[in-house]
Structure 1
Amino acid sequence: MTDPDDIGALLGAEGPFARELPNFAPRPAQQEMARAVQHAIAECETLIAEAGTGTGKTYAYLVPAMLSGQRVIISTGTKALQDQLFFRDLPKVRSVLGARLKTALLKGRANYLCLYRLDQTVREGASFDRHQAGQLAAIRAWSARTRRGDRMELAEVPEDSPLWLRVTSTPENCLGVECPFYDDCHVVKARREAQEADLVVVNHHLLFADLALKQEGFGEILPGAQAFILDEAHQIPELAGQFFSQSISARQLTELAQDALAECNGVTGAIGLMLEPIEALQDAVRKLRLALDPLPTRGAFHELLQREGVPTSLRDLGELLSALTDVLASQAERSRGLMNVHERAASLMERLDRIIEGHSEHDVRWYELFPRGFSLHATPLDLAAPLRAMRERTFAAWIHTSATLSVAGRFDHFARQLGLDDPQTLSLESPFDYARQALCYIPDGLPDPAARDYTERVIDAALPVLQASSGRAFLLFTSHRALRRAAELLADRVPWPLFVQGSAPRHQLLEEFRASGHGVLLGAASFWEGVDVAGEALSVVVIDKLPFAAPDDPVLQARLEALEQSGINPFMGWQVPAAVIALKQGAGRLIRDVHDRGVLVLCDPRLMTKGYGKLFLKSLPSMPRTHELSQVQAFFAPIANESGEPRAVMHDSFSDTAP
């Protein structure tokens, strides 16, 4: 009999999960986390819970959340994880617990089909090519049968199809209650369901858009919660920076011009007034992008202002946006659509003024360039204060969980970034047997990572490992340049299929990699986390360098200067901890279940030559380490043990194993 008051026991060997779910394995760490989450919700506390891969953290927070009797918001790192949680994990837990509670899935409005925008696109009869016309026909057919209107249901129209921009709404162009399709609006229905639910699954983008900016208009839904559970919480600092920033982009300005033009249809005389200022604004956006062309792709705002012609182009853009806003003001009363476009123009003008004129010591002003566009930003130097204020407004429990939040067992860096004062902390190691399942190989003789031939040397060191493992590897790079060079070097040197980031969508590369059985996948940033390949298809993870953030990031530079001024060593106090957490994410791709075996290849010699290298190694799961290639080869050369099952010979060439 399990104790009904012990939430951990529900997940134990005698509990309902063990009885009812095939392949459910009771884990003490999962039970401990469930008790900690239950306590945090009941006492309205802040909790940081690091749960190593395989802990089963999803059930560890879902069970107490469902049994709490409180309104709970669960936020995940990506929409894919959100769907997995809502459609797979949540129904299983609810069924086992027999929990009678309402649940809802809520995404940002760009994920939902807008019936008004679809109708407009069809009516305009724009000159689509055959391919896009086929996609539009597919969207129209789907619109007649979908209940949720969630884009992810329609796999045949790719996520990056430009058509989605035309048939979804933004906070700026939504007509609200005056929309002729309001009663059937998918966004309104999703919000209504969320309002009535006991447990709502959102993603970090939506959570922060709402709590930080009220941008998505869900203000009446999210603050009603008694607990917020943030999964993949290591992503929060970077995301929070985006949402507390003031930003304006070429795309926003171009869309404003296009929508203003579209709203002139059916309004007598409007086109005569609007056409000239609309075209002038579009031309100013193009001229500014051209003036920015010789600059690096990211940089501080003062660098941009020093470029000849840029200050003039910026001033012209501001004046022309102001002129269009004035014309729109004179027409705003003539239709709901024109009123909406006027409000957007006024908001963008205010934002542009704040970024160009702003000289706040609390903000970093910077720019970013894209092939056909640009964005301008003002980002707070310190996110702790706005994040703290946001949490305090909710009067709720806040639970932050991920496999990678600590640095050598300490949570100081994560807590400082988020302004978490004296939080409860919990560190749970992975239940996987890394000492038996994994080996860490640090090749000898590699040059300093700044060496010109460094990527060539990394590939030379990795090739014999790939031969020993017969492919089945991820090669993770800290830059796209290194990734492209490695792809060139490997193209005719390996007999296994190569999968290179950028050559196909991420999900397609992963599916093909899994199916190949012996593939070699080369990835940069987006493959370091959220990628799950269990089983023999992935048996090696090679990491080329310690993943320090790009030194040319203007926001990072300003933060490091501010830390130095406040007496904190910016390298050890920020750069190293951030890189440790990123390395843990990359290394975490290797062992995904109890049957996995694999070798982690860390190529950066600074692990052994610099004092801070120990901090990186101490933060990884405890596994044997070696400099000897022969031990890697022995790891992949199974020898039958007494029971007839294959096992691997393994020694440790160091006197110590990773602590």
Structure 2
Amino acid sequence: MAGPASRLAAGVRDALSAEAALAARIPGFVARPAQQRLAMAIADAFEHRDVLLAEAGTGTGKTFAYLVPALLSGMKTIVSTGTRALQDQLYLRDLPRVRDALGTGLKTALLKGRSNYLCRYRMEQAKGEPHLLKGAFASREIAAQFQRVVAWSGRTRMGDLSELDALPEDSPLLPQVTSTADNCLGSECPFWGECFVVQARQRAQSADLVVVNHHLLLADLALKQEGFGEILPGAQAFVVDEAHQLPELAAQFFGEGLGARPLVELARDVVGECKDVPGALASVQAPAFALEQAARSLRAAMDGLPVRGTAWRALDEVDIEPAFATLSAALHGMVEALAPLREAAPGFDAAHLRARDQLSRLRRWLGEQAADAADGDDDDDAGFDRTGGATSVHWYELTPKGFRLQRTPLDVSGPLRTHREQSRAAWVFTSATLAVAGRFDHVAQRLGIEHAAELIEPSPFDWDRQALCYLPPRMPEPAAREFGAAVLEAVRPVLEASAGRAFLLFASHRALREAAEALRDGPWPLFVQGSEPRHVLLQRFRESGNGVLLGTASFREGVDVAGDALSVVVIDKLPFAAPDDPVFEARLDAIRRAGGNPFRDEQLPQAVIALKQGAGRLIRTETDRGVLVLCDPRLTQKTYGRVFLDSLPPLPTTRDLADVQAFFSAQSGPHPMPAGGQP
């Protein structure tokens, strides 16, 4: 990227300067050299249709750094974020501010997956058939939510369910009022002309800049167009923010699965279609009942299994194989019952396709290729081994009332590379945590990137003044029984010095529960993951002013608490992936078989990125101050500990509690040089 700046890069640099439109029209905007360098690198990638890997530390201003070149380039651009919450923040807050400041008239659009939009057809079905909602309407609260959805449906323009603040993200009502790729009737739907999903996709197709999330980006790349055709072909540039999340999500989308809930929904949808087709109920009622019962019976049969495991582990149980056979027979019976009704109503034709697809997925998960062929299923398996040998792993996961059977590829670099090359577009991958010890090798390999421009822009914070890293001395081994108690003993004086205002992030739910019990009588308001919805918990923590929040891995990223409310982040153990994850274990085995080193090539890089995410919760602005407490003694006792420390921002490091106490007692100015020094 050396040499004179291109016309776009020069325009981007000028737009982000202290004298330009953004500084004049956006309150609080400050010109940042790191932001300008990042934006110019992105502009260069746009103009040359290159691939860019860019790590931009917190405070760099990467959102503006990619929005400015995207808006000034005039290129059709897809911006993908990690979550729907970030998607809304980007589209509703950041994008309008930059677009208005630049004075560009480009059309923009927000596009989410279909499960975010109201389906009028399914809502009307639920209104007309209350028995379909007997599970969801088990409480008056859910019934009241349904009435609010019905009332809102008459006034919404976009049909985006996020407009309904009172509807929880995990509400059992949602599957009844939204569609899936399986149950959507497509152009046969009587509400096709007013379909919110169709309208959202039409807006995206005509827009210059479209904001999506990774799930939707990958669904489109995986050619799972949800019945509406592809949106992304034709885009000239892609910006993937929070790009460290992409490989794991891609493994989900390039695999396939089936679960208890879709099976039960299929059975109930089939019965619901019968009201307009005389005599249909007599044909499908028994098969629908058999399918619902078979799904429940399989879950009951799996009750003695670990919560997560491989297919061979499940099938090794003598009492479980008959339950799988019963489910297979029930799905086959549903296919047979629906075949004569396909012409009777569009809903029956869609249900027949769903039943066939679920039966094929089950047979593939069980490794029954011969049965697939006999059933006439010539579905291409995306090049992945159906037996779960070298290229994919077949696994299950249990929930309190359901199950998920999943087939996941071990390496998605090939399909990601293919789709990226076929797009002939510019691709920018950016995050605050992409590099490991200053190198992009790990993420590049997982994304299938062989050649890319690279840029690392560290956080512009004054680390010597704003932060301190405390490594408590004399900690036992993380596997020791007394480790949890030692963590709390080391942390209590830190919390006393900081007056609470802390995140305590644990490697396991058991450790979290033990800490919650130990700290429940403490002087600080306690907020425990799982006790309330996450956004409610965070809001109450912010408002408390001196709270202590206990969380696990889900609080390591996507959480932004700026200011005095958060001044301590404690991480009990280095975040190595759980050993009971069948996909991760299979991936390590594949690396080993290929002659690689599983720890060096996979476990260590993944853990480093996860630690960087957790540490990144601490300092969010130029005025924040705080202490990062890392309790794992392996940081100083193992040679690989240096990789973790070298990947973190340049925080002063101490092993002396007195330095922590002095840090919090200092009202202003630089804190004393840590007496403990570097480990």
**TM-score (norm: length of structure 1):** 0.96
Amino acid at match of 1:602: L
Kindly tell me the number of residue pairs found equivalent between the two proteins: 648
> SS at 1:273's partner residue?
helix
Amino acid at match of 1:511: Q
**Conserved 8 A contact 2:257-2:405:** yes
> SS at 1:504's partner residue?
coil
CA distance in 2, matches of 1:654, 1:454: 22
Amino acid at match of 1:144: G
| Superposition RMSD in Å | 1.4
Mapped pair 1:39 → 2:44: yes
The one of 600, 613, 638 equivalent to 1:572 is 600
Q: Deviations over 1:497-521 (max 9, x none)?
A: 0000000000000000000000000
Amino acid at match of 2:76: R
Amino acid at match of 2:451: D
Of the structure 1 ranges 103-112 and 267-276, higher mean CA displacement relative to structure 2 is found in 267-276
Mapped pair 1:395 → 2:424: yes
Mapped pair 1:96 → 2:91: no
CA distance in 2, matches of 1:264, 1:64: 54
Mapped pair 1:313 → 2:323: yes
**Conserved 8 A contact 2:111-2:211:** yes
Of the structure 1 ranges 377-386 and 531-540, higher mean CA displacement relative to structure 2 is found in 377-386
Counterpart for residue 65 of structure 2: 60
Amino acid at match of 1:302: W
Mapped pair 1:167 → 2:177: yes
> SS at 2:233's partner residue?
helix
Counterpart for residue 673 of structure 2: 651
> SS at 1:652's partner residue?
coil
Structural mapping, 1:175-254, within 5 Å: 175-254=185-264
Of the structure 1 ranges 174-183 and 209-218, higher mean CA displacement relative to structure 2 is found in 209-218
How far residue 24 of structure 1 moved from its aligned partner, in angstroms, is 0.7
CA distance in 2, matches of 1:525, 1:216: 31
Counterpart for residue 371 of structure 2: none
Q: Deviations over 1:547-584 (max 9, x none)?
A: 00001211111111111122221101110100000000
Q: What 5-or-longer segments of structure 1 have no aligned partner? A: 640-645
**Conserved 8 A contact 2:503-2:570:** yes
Structural mapping, 1:332-481, within 5 Å: 332-357=342-367, 358-359=386-387, 360-481=389-510
How far residue 9 of structure 1 moved from its aligned partner, in angstroms, is 2.2
How far residue 213 of structure 1 moved from its aligned partner, in angstroms, is 3.5
CA distance in 2, matches of 1:313, 1:119: 35
Q: Deviations over 1:339-366 (max 9, x none)?
A: 1100111111111111111315311111
CA distance in 2, matches of 1:618, 1:588: 14
Q: Deviations over 1:231-272 (max 9, x none)?
A: 011110110111111211111111111111111222111111
How far residue 654 of structure 1 moved from its aligned partner, in angstroms, is 4.6
Q: Which runs of 4+ in 1 moved over 6 A?
A: none
Distance 1:543 1:224, change over 3 A: same
> SS at 1:74's partner residue?
strand
CA distance in 2, matches of 1:248, 1:140: 30
> SS at 1:173's partner residue?
coil
> SS at 1:382's partner residue?
coil
How far residue 275 of structure 1 moved from its aligned partner, in angstroms, is 1.4
Amino acid at match of 2:674: D
> SS at 1:495's partner residue?
coil
CA distance in 2, matches of 1:655, 1:345: 64
CA distance in 2, matches of 1:135, 1:552: 38
How far residue 623 of structure 1 moved from its aligned partner, in angstroms, is 1.1
Q: What 5-or-longer segments of structure 2 have no aligned partner? A: 1-6, 368-385
Counterpart for residue 638 of structure 2: 610
The one of 127, 130, 135 equivalent to 1:122 is 127
Q: Deviations over 1:422-450 (max 9, x none)?
A: 21111001111111100000000110000
CA distance in 2, matches of 1:278, 1:588: 50
Mapped pair 1:271 → 2:300: no
Q: Deviations over 1:621-650 (max 9, x none)?
A: 0010000000000000025xxxxxx33532
Q: Deviations over 1:56-103 (max 9, x none)?
A: 000000000111121000000000100010010111111111111110
How far residue 540 of structure 1 moved from its aligned partner, in angstroms, is 0.3
**Conserved 8 A contact 1:213-1:244:** no
**Conserved 8 A contact 2:77-2:235:** yes
The one of 538, 557, 563 equivalent to 2:585 is 557
Of the structure 1 ranges 196-205 and 375-384, higher mean CA displacement relative to structure 2 is found in 375-384
Distance 1:20 1:597, change over 3 A: same
**Conserved 8 A contact 1:384-1:419:** yes
Amino acid at match of 2:201: R
> SS at 1:200's partner residue?
strand
Amino acid at match of 2:545: G
**TM-score (norm: length of structure 2):** 0.94
**Conserved 8 A contact 2:220-2:231:** no
Mapped pair 1:519 → 2:524: no
How far residue 164 of structure 1 moved from its aligned partner, in angstroms, is 1.8
Of the structure 1 ranges 6-15 and 49-58, higher mean CA displacement relative to structure 2 is found in 6-15
Identity among equivalent positions (%) equals 57
Counterpart for residue 380 of structure 2: none
Counterpart for residue 562 of structure 2: 534
**Conserved 8 A contact 1:246-1:355:** no
> SS at 2:665's partner residue?
coil
Counterpart for residue 592 of structure 1: 620
Counterpart for residue 651 of structure 2: 623
The one of 35, 46, 51 equivalent to 2:56 is 51
The one of 62, 71, 76 equivalent to 1:71 is 76
Mapped pair 1:8 → 2:37: no
Amino acid at match of 2:579: P
Counterpart for residue 485 of structure 1: 514
**Conserved 8 A contact 2:129-2:272:** no
CA distance in 1, matches of 2:475, 2:419: 47
**Conserved 8 A contact 1:636-1:648:** no
How far residue 379 of structure 1 moved from its aligned partner, in angstroms, is 1.0
CA distance in 2, matches of 1:180, 1:305: 44
